[in-house]
Amino acid sequence: MTPAPGLRSGLLAGFCLLAALGAIVAGAFSLQAGRHLGADYSALAGDLVRAQEDTAELRLELNALRNHPHHRWHLTRIASLVARVPERIGTIRQGLSRSEIGEARYAPMLAELSQAETLYQRLASVIAAPDGGTDMDVPQLHRLGHELESTLAWTYSSLLEDVHRAAADQQRLMKWLSLAVVLLVILVLLVAAALMLALARIHRQWRSLRELSVTDELTRLANRRRLWEVAERYLELNRRDGGELSLLLIDLDHFKRFNDRYGHPAGDAVLQAVAAEFARLGRESDLVARLGGEEFAVLMPNTGLEGARQLGERLREATAGLPLPGQAGEQRLTISLGLATTRGGGDTLAQLYSRADRGLYRAKQNGRNRLEINAQA
Can you say how many angstroms the Cα of residue 151 is from the centroid of all Cα atoms in its chain? 60
Closest by CA position to 343, among listed 310, 300, 311: 300
CB atoms within 10 A of CB 341: 25
**What amino acid occupies position 30?**
S
Look at the chain and count its residues: 377
Q: How far apart are CA 151 and CA 327, in angstroms?
A: 115
Checking DSSP bridges between strand 371-374 and strand 335-343, what pairing results, if any? parallel
Would you say 351 and 343 are in contact if contact means Cβ atoms under 8 Å apart? Answer: no
- Report the C-alpha dihedral over residues 54, 59, 60, 64, rounded to 10 degrees: 130
Would you say 27 and 35 are in contact if contact means Cβ atoms under 8 Å apart? Answer: no
Q: How far apart are CA 217 and CA 150, in angstroms?
A: 98
Q: How far apart are CA 116 and CA 361, in angstroms?
A: 117
Q: Which long-range contacts (CB under 8 A, 24 or more apart) does 179-188 make?
A: 181/25, 181/26, 181/29, 181/30, 182/26, 185/22, 185/23, 185/25, 185/26, 186/22, 188/18, 188/22
- Residues paired with 231 in a beta bridge: none
* Catalytic member of 61, 149, 244, 294: 294
The torsion angles phi and psi of 321, rounded to 5 degrees, stand at -100, 10
Q: Name every residue whose Cβ is closer than 8 Å to that of residue 186 and which is 6 or more positions away in sequence.
A: 22
Q: How far apart are CA 235 and CA 343, in angstroms?
A: 9
The yes-or-no answer on residue 317 being catalytic is: no
Checking DSSP bridges between strand 335-343 and strand 295-301, what pairing results, if any? unpaired
Active site residues: 294
